[in-house]
Structures are given as structure tokens and as C-alpha cells.
Chain A
Amino acid sequence: MNKLLPLLTLLFSFSVMAELRATGDLGIVIEREDGNALIINTTEHKRLAKIEKLGDLSHASVVFSRDQRYAYVFGRDGGLTKIDMLKDSIDKHIIQAGNSIGGAISQDGKLIAISNYAPGGVKVFSSDTLELVADIPSEYGEGLRSKVVGLVDAPGQRFVFSLFDAGEIWMVDLKNPKAPVIKKFPNIGKQPYDALISPDGRYYIAGLFGESGMALLDLWNLDAGVKRILPDYGKDDEKLPVYKMPHLEGWAVAGDYLFAPAIGQHKVLVIDQNTWELHDTIAVAGQPVFVMARPDGRQVWVNFAFPDNNQVQIIDVKDLSLSKTLSPGKAVLHMEFTPRGEQVWVAVRDDNQLVVYDTETLQEITRLPANKPNGIFFSSRAHKIGL
């Protein structure tokens, strides 16, 4: 028995170790058709679990708790699901609206805000209990409520979002969640379709669908109001049809330049951040949907709307040239970089696959099966402003 004891202790400690799971290198992949979420390990390229029946995830996004244990999934059907990534289970699920587009987590991690199309507005919940904390209808006229897009968190326990139908940007301060303070910026331009915030939380930029240009709000200088930038881009060019609305996610910044999708043109816009003027445009394979910078800013990866959605193009930021065109498969919907950018995961909807690339060699590393994947979200987002 004396001899057995150390062995037993060893066995016991192994079994305990096997149950431990760190979450800093995990991620969530959305399977849009089945309404499932996959928990994946980005270091080992493994699928760890499938969380089922989250509702209509035809459009979905995910934010993470600051302890990186919980993932909050925002579904198209107004569903909000809190997934426990340690237990591979749903912690809580609510339906909070009829039709939603996205969400954000507050600076202190205690609040979850969701932008809704129907009924239009933003609802704020406790990240712990998912109880309603604040309800902010996006009213902009007699009986009118706008669809809300481009919701992001901002420093100072604030959320910023845009009203698609009203052409407004609103900022909500929730330092006292019981009494939200709303500041409205009207007349920012026609049909803001999405927005982003700079990694330092200073600049909020909404892209416009209904007219040329973008709307810029400097959160360090609110009194200056919203400034229109690039009002003339593409003014004289033929506007091509847009078969999928572009997304502005994160901040594709490299050096002094901000990279953004042009609307109705097969181009990526390169904007000088010092002057907010157009520095250059880069001709690409189609209508860009996601324009995302590798974390070190050396490359910008671009995917496209139907019918050019079988390709991904990579811009070399050093000389603003196209360095490579990849063909991961049919219907590339989303991309996500590992935290320091040595790899990128690509969701290929119609081929039912996730493709992992080495961003240095641009060679494929591996493929994992996923049924109609449409979004990839790594837990490293937990510590990034605006994600």
C-alpha cells in the first residue's frame, strides 16, 4: 500500500489535470444553417464541442467575458446565448427581440448591449444574469424606430451605434445603468450600414450605403460633432450592385492608413488617418465584405460578396500592392487572425470547411469540418476595445 500511494496520487493528479482547460486560445465558430456553435482550440486546430440549438444564426456575432470563460452569441432571431466554454454548455439563453444584428460588451465586462432591427433599438443586459438593465428604443420621428447597426463599446462605460433608417449616431453612457445618458448626432449621412471604432477607442466611423463617404466621430472631442470624410469617393464611377452588405469590423489599420471596403466598387479604400483623406484605392476581385489587417499590420486580408466569394486577396501594406489571391473554396464568409497573427482561420460556407493558413507563407496548414460556417470569433477578442 505504501508503494501504491504515490502511484494513486499521480493517477489522481493526472485526471484532475485532464479536466483543466485554459480558454485564452479558444474560439467559437457559428454554423449558420443548424444554429450551432462550435468551440474550437486554435493552438491544436481541434473542435472541442458542439453547442446546439441556439436559434437562427444566419447572421451572428460573438463577444467574450473578460475572464474568457463565457461567449455571448447574438443571433438573427433576437436570441442571446451565454455559452460556458469550460463546461461546453449553454449557461443561459433568452430571446430579447424579434430581429437583431449584433452586440458588444462594456468596458468593465458587466453589461451586454444588443442592437436590434425589430423592434428597433438597443437593449442592455447584465452579463452575469442576462437580466434587462436598460432599453433604448431608436425613435426618430412619430412612431418611427430605426434599425440599429454598428454597435461598439467605447471607453468610459459607453456604447456607440448608428441608426440605419434615421442616419444618426447615438452614444450612450451607462456609468449609471439605471439612468442611461444618450447623446445623439443627427444628419450623419444616408443609411449607415455598419461602423467600427479604433483600437484606442477614440474614433468611431460609420460607413454609408445611401451616399458616398463615411461619418467620423472623435470621442475625445464630441463637441466637434460628426465629420463627413471621403464625400467624393467614387462619385464619378459607375456604382456596381452590392450582393452582400460589407462589414466594418475591427480597425484595419496599418501604419498611418485605415483600410475600408468601397461600396459599389471593386476597391479597397486606403485612408490617411492624419488627414482623413483618401490616400489611394486598391483594385480587388469584387465587392469587399471584410477588410481585415493582420494584427501586426503588415497584411490586409479581403473577402468578397457574391459572386466573387470564392476568393481571398492579400494586400501587402509595405507597398499597397496585391501580393496574393487565394481560393479557399465556395463562399468565403469570414476570417479571424490568431492573436499575434501567425495564422488566419477562414470560414468557407458552401464547402462546409474551416481553412487555416500560415500568414507568412500563405500556405494552407489544415482544414476542419464545419457545417455552413459563417463566423469565427477567438476569445482573444475579450481584451480588445470595440470587439
Chain B
Amino acid sequence: MKKSLLLMLVIPAVFANTSMASKPSQNRQITLRNMLKHDCGACHGLTLKGGLGPALLPEALTGKPDDFLISTIINGRPGTAMPPWQPFISHDEAAWLLGILRKP
């Protein structure tokens, strides 16, 4: 009984979280920005003008749908050097990062 009560409390909280596509916490934002600059930047360039990977500047991303780009971040792109970031970045965080890329 205790367990199911706990579940009832937890489940709505989980749903609320995903449906809102919440913004990462302040600390997490700093971590994500650092990752974008340095880890994404290792291939895409610190200024995101591209390197081994293509440029990620707003102009380069226009016409590419959100779903496609978020999926690229999360799942990587087979056959290229782009790895899946899923173990480290959630769907919502990828969406938030994409927002920054589109409007730096």
C-alpha cells in the first residue's frame, strides 16, 4: 500500500517533467554550455564554424527541422564521426542546446 501510494505521487511528477520540456537547471546549463564549447567544439570548432564536423552556426542549421537535429545529437549519425550523446544529454537538454545554436 505504501509503495503504490509512492508511485501515485511519483508518476505524475515524471509526466509533468517530460511534458513541459523543462529548461535545465542553472548548474546544468553551465555544464552543457561548457560541453558545447569544448566537447562539441572539438569537432565543430570552438566558434562552431566547423572542423571535422560541419558548421553549427544558425545559417547552417536553417531549413533543418528540430526533430532531425535533436535526433542527430541524441543518436549520432552512423557512417560519420558524429557519436550518440544519449548517455550524457537528455532529449530536453538536446532541445535546449539546439535553441542556443539557433539563437546564440
Interface flag for B83 (CB, 8 Å) = yes
How many chain B residues touch the partner (CB < 8 A)? 20
- List, in ascending order, chain A residues with CB within 8 A of B42's CB: 58-59, 244-245
Q: How far is the CB of A337 from chain B (nearest CB, A)?
A: 23
A245:B84 contact, CB within 8 angstroms: no
- A76 CB contacts on chain B under 8 angstroms: 45-47, 49, 51
Smallest Cβ-Cβ distance to A210: which chain B residue? B79
Q: Is the CB of A147 within 8 A of B52?
A: yes
Interfacial chain B residues near A118, Cβ < 8 Å = 50
Assess whether B38 is in contact with A243, with CB atoms less than 8 Å apart.
no
Please report which residues of chain B, range 52-78, place their CB below 8 angstroms from some CB of chain A when the two chains form the complex.
52, 76
Closest to A190 in B: B79
User: Which A residues between 317 and 369 are near B, CB-CB below 8 angstroms?
Assistant: 331, 349-350
A118 to B49, CA, bound (A): 11
A20-38 near B? 1/0 per residue, CB < 8 Å: 0000000000001100000
Q: Cα distance A332–B52 when bound, in Å?
A: 21
CA distance A33 to B36 in the complex (A): 13
**What number of residue pairs across chains A and B have CB atoms under 8 A from each other?**
65
Interface residue count for A (Cβ, 8 Å)?
29
A77-B49 in contact (CB<8A): yes
CB interface residues, B 3-44, toward A, < 8 Å: 34, 37-39, 41-43
Q: Within the complex, which residue of B34, B45, B83 is in contact with A99, where a contact is CB–CB below 8 Å? A: B45
User: Which residues on A sit within 8 Å (CB–CB) of B43?
Assistant: 244-245
Q: Could you list 15 examples of A-B contacts with CB < 8 Å?
A: A33-B46, A56-B47, A76-B45, A76-B49, A99-B50, A147-B52, A193-B52, A241-B83, A243-B39, A244-B42, A306-B39, A307-B88, A350-B34, A350-B38, A372-B38
